[in-house]
Every structure is written in structure tokens, then in C-alpha cells.
Amino acid sequence: MKTTVFFIAAMVTFTAHAADPGAALYAEKTCVACHGKDAKKPLTKSYPKIAGQNAAYLEQQMTDIKSGARANGQSAAMKGVMHLVSEAEIKTLAAYLAKLPG
């Protein structure tokens, strides 16, 4: 019985994940390489965990890194991929990341 419940929960989680266009973008645009699985296991300790952060904040930071308005220490590492990401995709990614458990 317990196994069945677990299995159903896993299926639901998986389906919800796969159906989210933000999840697809997160993998497709290589975000996962630096920010890690579920956006909370970054490549190095100096890269940010971004799961569960406020959507509006995430959107602003991505927009600023893309435009160059945010250009502190390590932003350059991320700026390189931001030409692949449109304004609409930034919104989708921000909504997806904000929903992830932090």
C-alpha cells in the first residue's frame, strides 16, 4: 500500500515537472550545468542556489545580467548564455524556479 502511494506521488511529481515549460527551458538553455539539479546544487559553492526565490527578483536579476546592468564578480559566467534566452523565456524560467522547493 505504502509503495503504491509513493509510486503515484512520484508519477504526479514527474508529470508536473515534465509538463512545465520552465523545466524544459532550464535544461535546454544549459542553466542546469551551473545552477544544478533542481536549482539548488550549483556547480561551485560560489554560484547561487536559485530554487524557491521570489519570481520578480529572479526575473529582474536575469534581465540585468542579460543587459549587463548587473556585472559584478561572476555575472560574466552567466551572461554568455543569456543571448539564448528571450524576455518571455525569462518570465517562464522565473515562475518555474520560484515554485521549486528551496
Whole-number minimum distance, CB 13 to ligand HEC, in Å? 21
State the cell numbers at 90. Answer: 525569462
Considering only 4-12, 13-21, 46-54, which stretch makes contact with ligand HEC by CB under 6 A? 46-54
> For the residues of the chain, what is the DSSP string, one character each?
-HHHHHHHHHHHHHHHHHH-HHHHHHHHTTHHHHH-GGG-S-SSTTSPP-TT--HHHHHHHHHHHHHTS---TTHHHHHHHHTT--HHHHHHHHHHHHHS--
Identity of the residue, 2 or 83, whose beta carbon is nearer to ligand HEC in the bound complex: 83
Site string for ligand HEC, 11-40 (x = CB under 6 A): ------------------xxx-xxx-----
Which residue's beta carbon is nearest to the bound ligand HEC?
31
Chain residues in the site for ligand HEC (CB under 6 A): 29-31, 33-35, 47-48, 50, 58, 61-62, 70, 72-75, 77-78, 81, 85, 93
